[in-house]
Chains A and B, each alone.
Chain A
C-alpha cells in the first residue's frame, strides 16, 4: 500500500515538474507549483517527516504561490523564452541529474537502521532530549535548542529577504492614491466575502495553536508565522488593502520583523548573562529543563513574529506596486 502511494506521489511530482518547465503560461506554472508543494508535503508525510511536511504545506503550497501570483499581477502571465538558452539549460540539468542519480546508488536504504545518519548524532537526540530539554517533539528540540543557532540564522535569512524586497520596491513614492481597490472588494463577490470573513478567525486561532503547540506536536514559529500572515493576506485580497491597513500598516510590520530577530538574539545573550554560552537556555530558570522550555517558547515567539511580519511586508509591498501600476494605467 505504501509503495503504491509513494509511486503515485512521485509520478505525480514528476509530471507536475515537467509541465512547470514546459508550459509558457506562467499562471498555470504558479498554480502547478502550488500543487507541487502540496504533493511534496504529502510525500514527506508518507515518509514520516511530519514537521517538514507541515512547513512545505504552509510555504510551498500556501504562501509562495500567493506571492508568485502577486508578482504575475504586476508583470503579466506570458513568458518570453529564449529557445537557445533552453537547450543549454537542458544539457546542464542532465549532467547534474546524472551526477545526483549516481550519488544515490550507494545511498543507504530508506529507514535503514544502519544508515550513518541514524547511528551518530541522532541517538542522543532521540534518547536524551526528553531528559535534557524536556519536550516531546524531538524535531523542535533539535531546531530550537541543539541547533538553535542555525534557526537564528534562518530567521535572519527571512528578515534579509523581506528587507531586500523593501529596498527594491518599497520606497519609491511613499504615499499611494487610495481610490483603486482590490477587484474582489466589489459587492458582487458575495460568496468570497462571506467565506473570507468566516475563515479568518479559525485561521488565526490555528496559527496560535501551531505557535504554542510546537513543543508537543508538529509545528512551531515558522509554520505559525506563515499561517498567521496568510490570514491577513486572505482578508486583504477579499476586502482590499485599506481594510487591513487599518490594523497593521507597513511601518508596523517592518518594526515587528526586526523585533522578532531581536527577541531571538536577546534570548541568546541572556545565556551569556546567566554565565553560560550563547543560546544556552539552561540558566534562564531554576532548573535547566524549565530554562530550556522557557527559552524555546521565547525564541519560537521571535521566529513567529519575524516570519509573519516579513510575509505581510512582502505582500504589502507587492500590492502597493500593483496599485501604483494600475494608477499609472488609469492615468494614461
Chain B
C-alpha cells in the first residue's frame, strides 16, 4: 500500500466527496469529513517522512510512463506543502461543527462538507501532480468549490464577493491555461520535468516568453499578489468563518507553491530571472503588498477584513523571499508559508468562535473580550504576537530567516523595511489587545457575563496556538525540511 501513497493523498478526499453527498445527517457528514482529513494528514506525514529519507517519489497514473501518461511526483517541496494543507484542514474541520451549524442552517450542511472535500482534494491535486495540465484541472476543482463555499456566507454580500472572485479567478485560470497551451505547442509535452528538459532549446521564442507571462500573471491573481489582491479582502470577510480559516491558511499557499514550481522547476530559475526583471519585480511588489496591506488593515473596523488585509501583507513577505532568489531567501519563504498557515488558521478559528458567541467580529465586539472570552482572546493575542514576529513565536523564526537572507545578499534597506512592516502589523494587532484588555466593556450595554466559545472550537484553536509557540522554539522540523527543499530546488544538495 505504501507505494500508492501519492495517489491516496488525493484520491481519498476526491472519492469521499461524492460519497459525502449520500450522508443525510449533518453531524455524520462532519465526522466523515474530519475522518477523511485526518487520514489525508497521516498519508502526508508518511509521504514527508519517505521523501526526507529516500528522495523523490514518482507514481505513474494508469500505469503509463510519463510523458505519455500523467505522473505524480512528490519531492521535498510538495511533500511539505501537502503536510501543511492537510494539517491545517484537520484542525479547521475539527473546529467546524458548531460554527457551520450556526452560520449555515440545517439543510445546507451536507452540501457544505461535500464542497469542502472537493476544495480540499483540488488543492492537494494541484500540489501532488507532476503534470501541468493536471494542475489546471485540479485548479478548476478547487476554484469552483471555493466560489460556492464563499457564496454560502451569512449575508448577501457573500454572493457579490464570490462573484468578484469568480470573475478574477476565472481570468487567472484562463491565463494559466493559455500559458500551458503555448508550452505544449512549443515542446509537445505536459510533464513538468520533461518540460524543464525541453524548454531550454526553445526558450528564446516569443511563444515561451508569452507562456511565462500568462502563467505568471494567472498565478499571481490566484495568489492575491499586490496589486491583484482586490478580490481577497471581500472574499475572506464574507465567507463562512470556517471557510475563511481554511482558505487563508491553504489556498494562497498552494498558489505560492505553484509560483515556485513554475518559476524554479518548469522554466528554471535562470530563465525566470533573465526573461523578466523578476527579482526587482517580486521584491518591489512584495514590499508594496506588505506596506499597503498593513496600512489598510490598521483602518479596518471588521476584524475578519483586517486579518484579510494582513494576509495580503504576509503574502508580500513570501514574495520578497522568492525575489531574493537565493537558497536562504527561498527557505525563508517556505518557512513563512508554514508559520503563516499556523497563525492565520489560529486567528480565523478564534474569530469563528467570536462570531458564534457575539454574532459578529467588529472592533466593538472586542471591548472587554479579555474578560468575557479569555481563552479565545488569549489565542488571538498569542497568534497575533506570532503574526507580528515576536521572539519565542513561529512568526519570529520566518522573519528572522527572511532578514538574514536579505542581509546575506546585501539588501540592507530591504531588511530594514521588513522590520518596519512588522511594526505596522504590531499596530493593528495592538488595537485588538487594547480593546480587549485595556478598555472596559461598553457601559451603555447591559453587563455580559462570561461566554466562552465551545470546547470544539477552543481545542483546535489552542492546538494551533501551541504549535505557534512550539515551532517558535523547537524549529528543527520546519528548518530542516525547508532547507532541504530550497537546496534541492536551486541545485546543490540532492
Segment among B14-22, B246-254, B388-396, B476-484 that sits at the interface with chain A? B14-22
Q: Would you list which residues of chain A between 273 and 289 have a CB under 8 Å from chain B?
A: 276-282
From B58-66, B272-280, B288-296, B318-326, the one touching the partner chain is: B58-66
Contact B118 A160 (CB under 8 A): yes
Asked if A156 and B118 make an inter-chain contact with CB atoms under 8 angstroms apart, the answer reads yes
Asked if B186 and A120 sit within 8 Å, CB to CB, the answer is no
The 8 Å CB contact of A157, one of B133, B137, B152, B202, is B137
Partner of B59, one of A124, A255, A258, A277: A277
C-beta contact mask, A240-279 vs B, less than 8 Å → 1, else 0?
0000000000000011011101100110110110001111
**Count of B residues near A, CB < 8 Å?**
60
Tell me the smallest distance from the CB of B76 to a CB of chain A, in Å: 23
Q: Which residues does chain A contribute within 8 Å of B145, judged by CB atoms?
A: 160, 163-164
In the assembled complex, the Cα of A118 lies from the Cα of B118 at a distance in Å of: 35
A18 within 8 A of partner (CB): no
- In the complex, the chain B residue whose C-beta lies closest to that of A116 is B188
Which B residue's beta carbon lies closest to that of A174?
B107
Does residue B67 face the partner (Cβ distance < 8 Å to A)? yes
- Measured CB to CB, the closest approach of chain A to B356, in angstroms, equals 21
Name which of B18, B19, B185, B187 has the most chain A CB atoms within 10 A of its CB.
B18
A157 to B145, CA, bound (A): 9
Q: Is the CB of B63 within 8 A of A118?
A: no
Q: Is B68 an interface residue (CB 8 A)?
A: yes
B68 touches A124 (CB 8 A): yes
* Chain A contacts for B15, CB-based, 8 A: 261-262, 265-266, 269
A20 to chain B, nearest CB (A): 17
B7 at interface by CB-CB < 8 Å: yes
Separation of A117 and B182 alpha carbons in the complex (Å): 10
User: Is residue B365 within 8 Å, beta carbon to beta carbon, of the partner chain?
Assistant: no
Q: Does A100 contact B (CB under 8 A)?
A: yes
How long is the Cα–Cα vector from A278 to B184 in the complex, in angstroms?
A: 25
Do B115 and A163 have beta carbons less than 8 Å apart?
yes
Cα distance, A171 to B115, chains bound together (Å): 15
Binds B, one of A1-9, A71-79, A144-152, A176-184: A144-152
Q: For chain B residues 143-191, which have a beta carbon within 8 Å of chain A?
A: 144-145, 147-148, 151-152, 159, 178, 182, 184-189
Q: What A residues does B17 contact at CB under 8 A?
A: 156, 159, 261
- Cβ-defined contact, B19 with A262, below 8 A: yes
B397 interface residue (CB < 8 Å to A): no
Determine, out of A101-109, A200-208, A216-224, the stretch whose residues face the partner at the interface: A101-109
Chain A residues near B186 (CB, 8 Å)? Answer: 116
Q: Are A254 and B21 in contact (CB under 8 A)?
A: yes
Among candidates A108, A161, A277, residue contacting B144 with C-beta atoms closer than 8 Å: A161
Query: In the docked arrangement, what's the CA distance between A210 and B189, Å?
Result: 30
Q: Is the CB of B64 within 8 A of A146?
A: yes
A157/B141 in contact, CB under 8 A:
yes
Decide if A116 touches B185 in the complex (CB within 8 Å).
yes
Whether A90 is near chain B, meaning CB under 8 Å from some CB there, is: no
CA distance A254 to B68 in the complex (A): 35
Q: Mark A161-191, 1 if CB is under 8 A from B, else 0.
A: 1011011100100100000000000000000
* Contact B137–A154 (Cβ < 8 Å): yes
CA distance A164 to B11 in the complex (A): 21
Contact residues of B between 101 and 138, Cβ < 8 Å to A: 107-108, 111-112, 114-115, 118, 121, 125, 133-134, 137-138
Whether B443 is near chain A, meaning CB under 8 Å from some CB there, is no
Residue of B nearest to A261 (CB): B18
- State whether the Cβ of B210 lies closer than 8 Å to any Cβ in chain A: yes
Q: Is A145 touching B11 in the complex (CB atoms < 8 A)?
A: no
B1-50 with Cβ < 8 A to chain A: 4, 7, 11, 14-15, 17-19, 21-22
Contacts of B138 in A (CB 8 A): 153
Query: With A120-B189, A150-B137, A272-B4 in contact, is A103–B207 under 8 Å at CB?
Result: yes
Query: CB of A212 within 8 A of chain B?
Result: no
Given the known interface contacts A145-B64, A153-B138, the answer about A102 and B210 at a Cβ–Cβ threshold of 8 Å is yes
Does B70 touch A at the CB level, under 8 Å? yes
Interface: A44 (CB within 8 A): no
Whether the pair A100, B210 counts as a contact (CB closer than 8 A) is yes
Q: Does A102 lie within 8 Å of B148, measured CB to CB? A: no
Does A164 contact B148, Cβ atoms closer than 8 Å?
yes
User: Is B213 in the interface zone, CB < 8 Å from A?
Assistant: yes
Write out the residue numbers on chain B whose beta carbons fall within 8 Å of the beta carbon of A156.
14, 17, 118, 121, 141
**Contact status of A278 and B4, CB under 8 A, knowing A117-B185, A121-B189:** yes
A175 CA to B341 CA, complexed, in Å: 43
Are the C-beta atoms of A164 and B18 separated by less than 8 Å?
no
CB pair B19 A258 closer than 8 Å: yes
Is B140 part of the binding interface, using a Cβ–Cβ cutoff of 8 Å?
Answer: yes
**Interface check B462, CB cutoff 8 A:** no
- Known A-B contacts A120-B187, A168-B151, A278-B7; A160 and B115 likewise in contact (beta carbons under 8 Å): yes
- With a cutoff of 8 Å between Cβ atoms, the chain B residues found around residue A108 in the complex are 185
Q: Is B448 an interface residue (CB 8 A)?
A: no
**B182 to A, closest residue via Cβ:** A103
Asked if A280 contacts B62 (CB within 8 A), the reply is yes
The distance from the CB of A275 to the nearest CB of chain B, in whole angstroms, is 11
For residue B444, CB closer than 8 A to chain A, the reply is no
Q: Which residue in chain B gives the minimum CB-CB distance to A279?
A: B62
Once the chains bind, are B7 and A277 in contact (CB under 8 Å)? yes
B231 within 8 A of A: no
Chain B residue nearest to A92 in the complex (CB): B171
* Interface residue A47 (Cβ < 8 Å from any Cβ of B): no
Contact B148 A120 (CB under 8 A): no
Closest to B121 in A: A156
Q: Is the CB of A255 within 8 A of B22?
A: yes
Q: Which of B63, B107, B178 contacts A277 (CB 8 A)?
A: B63
Q: Are B206 and A102 in contact (CB under 8 A)?
A: yes
Q: Does B205 contact A (CB under 8 A)?
A: yes
From A124, A163, A266, A277, B61 is in contact (CB under 8 Å) with: A277
The answer on a CB contact under 8 Å between A103 and B206 is yes
User: Is B307 interfacial (CB 8 A cutoff)?
Assistant: no
Whether, in the assembled complex, B366 has its beta carbon less than 8 Å from a beta carbon of chain A, the answer is no
A198 interface residue, CB < 8 Å from B?
A: no
B residues in contact with A281, CB < 8 Å: 62
| Cβ-defined contact, A279 with B61, below 8 A | yes
Q: Does A99 count as interface, using CB distance less than 8 angstroms?
A: yes
Report the nearest B residue to A268, measured CB to CB. Answer: B11
Q: Is A28 an interface residue (CB 8 A)?
A: no
List the interface of chain B (C-beta within 8 A of A): 4, 7, 11, 14-15, 17-19, 21-22, 59-64, 67-70, 107-108, 111-112, 114-115, 118, 121, 125, 133-134, 137-138, 140-141, 144-145, 147-148, 151-152, 159, 178, 182, 184-189, 198, 202, 205-207, 209-211, 213-214
Known pairs A150-B137, A266-B15 / 14 extra A-B pairs, C-beta < 8 Å? A102-B206, A116-B186, A117-B184, A120-B198, A145-B62, A149-B70, A153-B140, A163-B115, A167-B111, A171-B111, A174-B107, A261-B17, A262-B19, A278-B59
Q: Which 9 A-B pairs have the closest CB atoms?
A: A120-B188, A103-B210, A153-B137, A164-B148, A280-B63, A258-B18, A116-B188, A265-B15, A279-B62
11 contacts between A and B (CB under 8 A): A103-B209, A115-B188, A120-B188, A147-B69, A150-B133, A153-B125, A167-B151, A258-B18, A258-B19, A266-B15, A277-B63
Residues of A within 8 A of B (CB): 99-100, 102-108, 115-122, 124-125, 145-150, 152-154, 156-157, 159-161, 163-164, 166-168, 171, 174, 254-255, 257-259, 261-262, 265-266, 268-269, 271-272, 276-282
